[in-house]
Amino acid sequence: MHDIEPYYKWREYYISSDDEQSPFYKAKYDEFKFTNKIYNYYIHPQWDNFGSNTLYVKILLADYNAGVALIELIGEWNDILYNDIMYLKRNVIDPLIQNGVSKFTLFCENVLNFHGDDNSYYEEWWDDIKEDDGYIVFINTLLHVQQEMERAQLQYYVNVGDHFCEIDWRRKLPAQLLLEVQHRLNSQTKQLDY
C-alpha cells in the first residue's frame, strides 16, 4: 500500500496544496515519514486525510472556471462504521461546490471495499449540482465495489458501472479525459432514452 502514490503527472496543471480554494491548501507532505494508515498498512504520504479512518483522497485537478474536479481515492470506503461519505461531502466536496465545481470524476480503482449505508449524502450531493448540469462519475470501480454501491442504490445519484470502467485515464491529458467522460455520459443517456 505504501508504494501506491497519487497520480502525479498532472501536477503541471494543478497542485491542491497550492490552490487557495482547495480544502488542502498549504498541506505539507513528508516524503520520508509515513504516518497515515489504512488499518495496519501505511500509505504513501502524498495522500490527503479528510477525516476518514480508512479512505484517503487526492484532488488531481480542480478547474473552477470549467466547474470540474478530478479526484483519486485509496482505501476502504466505509459508510456503515465511519460515515466516510459525510466526511468526503463536508470536507472535500462542499468546498469545491462552493467554488463553482459541479462536475465530479472520482477514480476508484484503489477503493478496495465499499460498505454502504444510507444514501442521503449522495442524494444531497446530486441535489447540490444537478441545477448546474453537474454529474458525479466513479471511474474504474472494482466489480465487487460496484456491486456493493449498486446494492446501496448509489446509481440513482452517481454514474457508476461497466460504462465507466476500463478507462485508461492515466494516458490522457485532463481535457481528453473530461471529453471521454462527457462522451460516455452522453452515450449512456442516449441508451436510456430508448
**Domains contained in the chain, CATH given:** 16-193 (3.30.750.24)
Q: What is the pLDDT of residue 30?
A: 85
Q: What is the pLDDT of residue 188?
A: 80
Q: What is the pLDDT of residue 126?
A: 98
- Distance from the first to the final alpha carbon of the chain: 44
Q: What is the pLDDT of residue 1?
A: 63
Reported as type and span, the H/E element at residue 86 is helix 84-88
- Concatenating the DSSP letter of every residue in 1-29 gives -TT-----TTTTT--GGG-TTSTTTT---
Q: What is the pLDDT of residue 3?
A: 79
User: What is the Cβ-side half-sphere exposure of residue 93, based on CA atoms within 13 angstroms?
Assistant: 23
- CA–chain centroid gap for 138, Å, is 7
Q: What is the pLDDT of residue 45?
A: 94
Q: DSSP letter at 131?
A: G
Reported as type and span, the H/E element at residue 70 is strand 68-78
What is the Cα–Cα distance from 2 to 33, expressed in whole angstroms? 11
From first to last of the 194 residues of the chain, give the pLDDT tens digit: 677 999 999 999 999 999 999 999 999 998 778 888 998 899 999 999 999 999 999 999 999 999 999 999 999 999 999 999 999 999 999 999 999 999 999 999 999 999 999 999 999 999 999 999 999 999 999 999 999 999 999 999 999 999 999 999 999 999 999 999 999 999 986 655 54
Q: What is the pLDDT of residue 56?
A: 98
Q: What is the pLDDT of residue 64?
A: 98
The single-letter code of the amino acid at 61 is: L
Q: Which whole-number Å values give the CA distances from 19 to 40, 66, 175, in the listed order?
A: 31, 16, 19
Q: What is the pLDDT of residue 14?
A: 98
What is the Cα–Cα distance from 95 to 114, expressed in whole angstroms? 24
Residues 141 and 160 sit within 8 Å (Cβ to Cβ): yes
Q: What is the pLDDT of residue 136?
A: 98
Closest CA to 53 of 25, 84, 26: 84
Q: What is the pLDDT of residue 190?
A: 60
Which three three-digit cell numbers place residue 171?
A: 494516458
